Structure 1
């Protein structure tokens, strides 16, 4: 509640969006905004200087790409323009991360590689089917997260440092109930007022822009139509369909069978009884009684061994070796059924054994094992063929071959995309879909810079590889008017309708401010408007209000009694005229639960504030300098807007 009252409209995306994927693993401490410490002396291409360390435009591009990947988990169609709202938080989070790391380095906070390794190994996504760390699972996790090992280790290190340095400043902060009580009373404050609404849509009728109007509006708002960087990519899959490995031959099947005969020879098992004692004389007595005709159980009984003690059950030679050591197992499996073996000495004592029965398991002939051998050899050939193909491609690239030459050397089919963005979308053809199975090619294609050699990306699920090259790069720029004429027309109409609605709302607000009743002012507007609505609310309802009502309610609680004001709907649907008629102070003296709850929420907020102040102090200590011009240029380049 206190947080709702204090920061209802403030986003906490911040560092969280930059390390959001990591937070699901580590639940690391996240911080929000970062104050500017000036931009004097900042260099081109550098968005911030932290002591001797620089946060570069490239770092920001990487962070933005990771933020977009995270955003696409909730909205697969999101593009870089969707980051505009969160861009400042991404920048601040990136600077915070480097600031804390620099402070830690200066003051002797050291993280061992073993600690980072332990964090990686503790992540369930890096474990195999046996529950242990798996290199294969780790590689798949990195690929899915679109991170390198170095990226993940840096993020983990940052999180661990935050835990060590920042978190202690924010935990266990106690807020006295006496401090929380007036805020709890404020939450119970009641207000009565009136609400008028001027909707934009009703002013759009009859608006029909000319081509000149559209051109002028487009020219004045070009940055609004900024399109992210686009590229034409070339890709050539290196898969089993394109490589086509040969099938295993009869000779290869026979050779594999002969090399692995032990695997197909069958596995004999024996039912064994065994007595193990520490004294050889006792062992000799057991062996003598058993050879003399007594049952093995009866022969072992004088030594204090029960039937359960001597029963070993069915055993393979390998299993019995692990149970009784190799010399004992060798002797037991060399004897005939019914034989008494021993005494034989081992580290466990003296062994006397009876071979109760022998069960021979028939092995497999080469023909019986053919199908499984063929499957094994075929899988090996596929892997070898793919590896060999990638090796040849890489050699060709290293020798200076172009994309087309490298692909032609293996006869790979080449596909050239239309001009697409980093999400695989073709602005001119919404029906175009970049193949989902080749997403690593898209990622690699947008990581390459002009002049880079083609690269080979790994496809998921052992599907193979894909050769990727860049054909054309189109820098971020406003879309041509002809391509977005309908969109510009809709924006022009909305802009003009908004101007009309604003003028009507402002006239109503001015009359109300001079003492006219809101009902009369609405009637004199000259256009049909919804009737004035009475509003009664308690401040605590602000935290529960929906998006349609919260803006008007905030204004109701921001105004003094008898005052009124016009406020724009943040969703762009129109304008509210709000007037506060009556204020009734709240009293929390009979609401102990609310006071306690407010104190608890105040405690969390106060802890965050302490952490923020600590990071601010670190920034001053490290002499953080922000390059606001570079940040603004990066925002325009990445999101297509400078606002």
Structure 2
């Protein structure tokens, strides 16, 4: 588990971790394939599923769940495996789909070359040396720091490339006729009118003060709400540049770096390019033909499923383009004048078509001009390497049996002992305690360390160094004493009583509406002080999409408005009260005069149809290969992991 916590928070590790997460998350959309045999009796106990000759083991699932938990904890440090219950089946299916991809590629001789994988590895920032180029030593240091093996990194990169080269072209070939999209465009213009009332909880808070007996009963009935989660006391020893002494770039190193990077400091021509890559030469030729006919490159590539962001590369040097696409492509691009469309030409990733948008001429700098920049870069790199060496030394000392105190003293590390903290970093016994900002993520990231486990080194955010973490004490979860939280329980009791009263009033109002009274008449008849008359509401269905575009949920009363039949009413719970919604009228939409809206629906449907086509491709591949699931083993894994059985490494 420590491996993936570090990887998820490390800048250099993000590029590797995201390959897996994109594979899993993208697969959620197509994770409902059901044409799997439900047997598994012949599979080994630790094999959850088998696709062709590719197996999914319990250890594979453990790794995936650990990574998913690390991702969730970036947003919610208190998350546990129990919070992943809704993701479990989707992750299992996504992993089976990954095995489908591998087994299909092997069966049909579709291999990813080492050159392609190497090209992806060199893009990881942490694998470059002082000269800015790939360094085997830096790569090994990266693997050691992130607790990864070369085989693990290569497997994940190969999986991502297989998905890009096999699944993406399948999904990108869908075309939808405008006539099919028209009903969806019409639906988005549908307009609904009605009325909306709010019964605020504050209007129902009056009444007698709760008695001691009522509070005790409410406390017992809701004891889980008042349970203080597990807490831990940490000892933290920060590892920063202060322990390194004077680390700086020398004059010789600065001069050598300048000479080795003449392409950068001596001046290198750059070309602003747009690029599309596909494994199908004919598809690339079609893009090239459209691009040469005029218009923007993005418009020429759009029919092949590319967005403007997908094809925009920006300014690159010849060396950078060689790394990305190969020497043959770079030679043609850097010999062509601005405005030229190059391709189709075979590259290291398939077939390319590239447009030279503009040319930026070289502008060199002297050593004196570049000295400060080079010195800062080399010094930062030397300090990064030096602190990585120090971290390695500390971890070696821990592996040799040294204690937290011995390691902290030997390396002159300042130590902070925290009070008992929850996973979120709160101190129940010391509510005013605040962790230093650089340690804010430490409790959540380190809550799986046991009191008897050896200390671990965790990275700090914003290049703040590292921290050596030791768990000094573990306090199990337990209910807080009623006497200590009596004011909170009283507030919660009054709030719950108000909610019950508001719901009872809502039921009475809805009953009157069902008998034919208007919502305004029924609300007025309820006679609740503080409740305003209903307001008119009028909305098009398409407006609901704006909430999703802004990353927001559709408010419950608006969502209900578009589920009701005319004349019907329904309630919706809100954070401050109960909403009552009544639908009066529905006006069907007509998109005949809005071709842009229809075109937008065509795009949306092509995207959805592409996902469906990818699903069908996977279903066909699984049918060809044969898939077996060991349901007993999957159920056992679910119980073990979601029940807290999965332990940190």
Q: Is the 8 A contact 2:569 2:583 kept in 1?
A: no
CA 1:614–1:201 in 2, change beyond 3 Å: closer, same or farther? farther
Q: Is the 8 A contact 1:393 1:407 kept in 2?
A: no
Q: Is the 8 A contact 1:96 1:615 kept in 2?
A: no
> What secondary structure is seen at the aligned counterpart in 2 of 1:426?
coil
CA 1:106–1:577 in 2, change beyond 3 Å: closer, same or farther? same
Measured against aligned partners, the alpha-carbon deviations of 1:423-461 in whole angstroms (never above 9, x if no partner) come to 544343344344455689768854534533334567789
Mean alpha-carbon deviation: is it higher for 534-543 or for 47-56?
A: 47-56
> What secondary structure is seen at the aligned counterpart in 1 of 2:71?
helix
Quick one: which of 96, 100, 120 aligns to 1:99? Answer: 96
| Aligned-residue offset at 1:541 | 2.3
Q: Which residue of 1 aligns with 2:600?
A: 597
Q: Which residue of 1 aligns with 2:544?
A: 542
> What secondary structure is seen at the aligned counterpart in 2 of 1:544?
helix
CA 1:117–1:548 in 2, change beyond 3 Å: closer, same or farther? closer
CA distance in structure 2 between the aligned counterparts of 1:199 and 1:47, rounded to whole angstroms: 54
Q: Does structure 1 residue 31 correspond to structure 2 residue 41?
A: no
Q: Is the 8 A contact 1:227 1:478 kept in 2?
A: yes
CA distance in structure 1 between the aligned counterparts of 2:590 and 2:172, rounded to whole angstroms: 30
> What secondary structure is seen at the aligned counterpart in 2 of 1:104?
helix
| Aligned-residue offset at 1:463 | 8.2
CA distance in structure 1 between the aligned counterparts of 2:521 and 2:228, rounded to whole angstroms: 47
CA distance in structure 1 between the aligned counterparts of 2:611 and 2:513, rounded to whole angstroms: 41
Q: Does structure 1 residue 79 correspond to structure 2 residue 77?
A: yes
Q: Which residue of 2 aligns with 1:560?
A: 565
CA 1:502–1:147 in 2, change beyond 3 Å: closer, same or farther? farther
| Aligned-residue offset at 1:531 | 0.9
Unaligned runs of 5+ in 1: 1-15, 72-77, 248-255, 264-375, 639-643
Q: Which structure: larger Rg?
A: 1
CA 1:114–1:203 in 2, change beyond 3 Å: closer, same or farther? farther
Measured against aligned partners, the alpha-carbon deviations of 1:469-491 in whole angstroms (never above 9, x if no partner) come to 32223456666656655554443
CA distance in structure 1 between the aligned counterparts of 2:120 and 2:93, rounded to whole angstroms: 22
| Aligned-residue offset at 1:611 | 3.5
CA distance in structure 2 between the aligned counterparts of 1:589 and 1:122, rounded to whole angstroms: 49
CA distance in structure 1 between the aligned counterparts of 2:148 and 2:219, rounded to whole angstroms: 41
Q: Does structure 1 residue 531 correspond to structure 2 residue 563?
A: no
Give the TM-score, by structure 1 length. 0.59
Paired residue total: 480
Q: Is the 8 A contact 1:542 1:550 kept in 2?
A: no
Mean alpha-carbon deviation: is it higher for 548-557 or for 98-107?
A: 548-557
Q: Is the 8 A contact 1:28 1:160 kept in 2?
A: no
Q: Which residue of 2 aligns with 1:282?
A: none
Q: Which residue of 1 aligns with 2:589?
A: 586
Matches within 5 A, 1:132-147: 132-133=133-134
Matches within 5 A, 1:109-188: 111=112, 114-123=115-124, 127=128, 130-133=131-134, 148=148, 155-188=156-189
Q: Is the 8 A contact 1:99 1:618 kept in 2?
A: no
> What secondary structure is seen at the aligned counterpart in 1 of 2:27?
coil
Give the aligned CA root-mean-square deviation in angstroms.
Answer: 5.2
CA 1:99–1:576 in 2, change beyond 3 Å: closer, same or farther? same
CA distance in structure 1 between the aligned counterparts of 2:144 and 2:399, rounded to whole angstroms: 25
CA distance in structure 1 between the aligned counterparts of 2:136 and 2:494, rounded to whole angstroms: 57
Q: Does structure 1 residue 575 correspond to structure 2 residue 571?
A: no
CA distance in structure 1 between the aligned counterparts of 2:463 and 2:520, rounded to whole angstroms: 70
Q: Which residue of 2 aligns with 1:318?
A: none
CA distance in structure 2 between the aligned counterparts of 1:388 and 1:582, rounded to whole angstroms: 71
CA 1:135–1:449 in 2, change beyond 3 Å: closer, same or farther? farther
CA distance in structure 2 between the aligned counterparts of 1:443 and 1:416, rounded to whole angstroms: 16
Q: Which residue of 1 aligns with 2:65?
A: 60
> What secondary structure is seen at the aligned counterpart in 2 of 1:495?
helix
Give the TM-score, by structure 2 length. 0.59
> What secondary structure is seen at the aligned counterpart in 2 of 1:581?
strand
CA 1:554–1:456 in 2, change beyond 3 Å: closer, same or farther? closer
Measured against aligned partners, the alpha-carbon deviations of 1:233-276 in whole angstroms (never above 9, x if no partner) come to 2344566867989x9xxxxxxxx9xxx9xx9xxxxxxxxxxxxx
CA 1:442–1:533 in 2, change beyond 3 Å: closer, same or farther? closer
Q: Which residue of 2 aligns with 1:606?
A: 609
Unaligned runs of 5+ in 2: 1-7, 256-377
CA distance in structure 1 between the aligned counterparts of 2:497 and 2:95, rounded to whole angstroms: 45
| Aligned-residue offset at 1:387 | 6.5
Q: Is the 8 A contact 1:100 1:618 kept in 2?
A: no
